[in-house]
Amino acid sequence: MVNYASVDLLAAFTRELELCKVKPGEHVVILTEPYSRDDYAAAAFGAAKALGAHVIAAAVPGGSPAPLPSTHTGAGPGLASVLADKAAQDLLKSADLVVDLTREGFIHAPVQEEILATGTRIIFICDAPEVLIRNMPQEQDKARVIHGAELLRRSTTMHITSRAGTDLKVNLKGSEPEFQVGFADDPGRWDHWPSTMVLCWPEFSDGQIVLSEGDILLPFKEYVREPVTLLVKDGRIEEIKGGADAKMLQTFLDDGGDQWGRSLSHMGWGLMKTADWFSTALYSKADIMGMDARAFAGNFLWSTGPHPVLQRESYAHVDVAMRDCTVSIDGKDVVVDGKLVDN
């Protein structure tokens, strides 16, 4: 039977590469591993070719250095086959755009920063087809996320509260604000389709975080079933209290012996208005990265583990997407009870 899936995806991938500013004569490398989606690779190849680019499809052996199953966890440690192969790295550095279709990507691998430093753009794509298409980025999204990142850059404090009891104060000094917008259009730019969010990498935060029913735990891709209270001091989780969800978090963060497992990493808020909070419940865990959860408009997203600003390498990467929080930057509310303000 003929597989028409890539044909169905061709228009979406062409639009995505247009947003990434692929031009005639540029070099596009499509990076895959054995378990990458064939239809994505074919659609990306066809889209790049249609836009007049030189295209190379590079398939490398799978296998991650992280002690986790490669099921789109978000840990982003990269592939051992690329991390240990200078020729593979040189190929990626020589490209104008890398379309990363691997299962985990190189989000938190230092080698990715080396590749970006050469001017290569990278767009990471791994969620389910409907998730990509429903959350197709728009050019005007970039102004929204840049506005949020600039607000963080000129501010000193982020304060997160909720009716459930969250009360966390974050020192923004040196936190190097960033954004994700769903396309990689500037030289040396990494991005993730789909995503629309603002984030930063603070070192110090203090207070407590209270997870409520319906908040989402990633990489578990599960909804919180009962309250969890986390006590935070100097950017580190000192205590986790609650039932089964608390026990799962505590075990995951502690059993691997990762020294940075309980240290907070990036945090920020989602601006993706097309994202569905309930999407995580509709797919198997192997089918999605969970970007609906990570970026839905008005969430508060925080994480543990890797911290590039502080040169912390870690596999204990947890993302927690919370609803119904209020996020204030130097006293200015950007999210109120889970709803975006002026966005």
Give pLDDT tens digits for 58-112.
999 998 888 777 777 877 889 999 999 999 999 999 999 999 999 999 998 999 9
Measured CA to CA, the distance from residue 95 to residue 177 in angstroms comes to: 26
Residue 266, pLDDT above cutoff 70: yes
274-291 pLDDT, tens per residue? 999 999 999 999 899 999
Residue 1, pLDDT above cutoff 70: no
For residue 74, what pLDDT is reported? 79
3-state SS, 213-233, equals CCCEEECCCEECCCCEEEEEE
Check: CB of residue 316 under 8 Å from CB of residue 111. no
- Cα dihedral across residues 232, 294, 289, 199: positive or negative: negative
CATH, domain range 5-126: 3.40.50.2300
The answer for residues whose C-beta is within 8 angstroms of residue 50's C-beta and 6 or more apart is 10, 14
Question: Where do the structural domains in the chain lie, given as residue ranges?
Answer: 5-126, 141-340
**Average pLDDT, rounded, for the chain:** 95
Structure tokens at 130: 């409907």
Residue 313, pLDDT above cutoff 60: yes
Percent with pLDDT over 70 in the chain: 99
pTM of whole model > 0.85? yes
Measured CA to CA, the distance from residue 42 to residue 73 in angstroms comes to: 24
For residue 70, what pLDDT is reported? 73
What number of residues does the chain have? 343
DSSP H stretches of helix in the chain: 5-19, 38-50, 80-83, 86-94, 110-117, 129-134, 141-153, 244-255, 291-295
Average of per-residue pLDDT across 282-303: 95
Structure tokens at 189: 């730019």
For residue 2, what pLDDT is reported? 63
Residue 255, pLDDT above cutoff 90: no
What 3-state DSSP class applies to 144? helix
- Cα dihedral across residues 269, 274, 275, 278: positive or negative: positive
225-252 pLDDT, tens per residue? 999 999 999 999 999 999 999 999 999 9
Residue 76: Cβ within 10 Å count: 22
13-30 pLDDT, tens per residue? 999 999 999 999 999 999
Measured CA to CA, the distance from residue 17 to residue 46 in angstroms comes to: 11
131-168 pLDDT, tens per residue? 999 999 999 999 999 999 999 999 999 999 999 999 99
Is the peptide bond prior to 306 cis by the omega test (within 30 degrees of 0)?
Answer: no
Q: What CA–CA distances, in Å, run from 312 to 33, 72, 249, 266?
A: 26, 21, 20, 12
For residue 122, what pLDDT is reported? 98
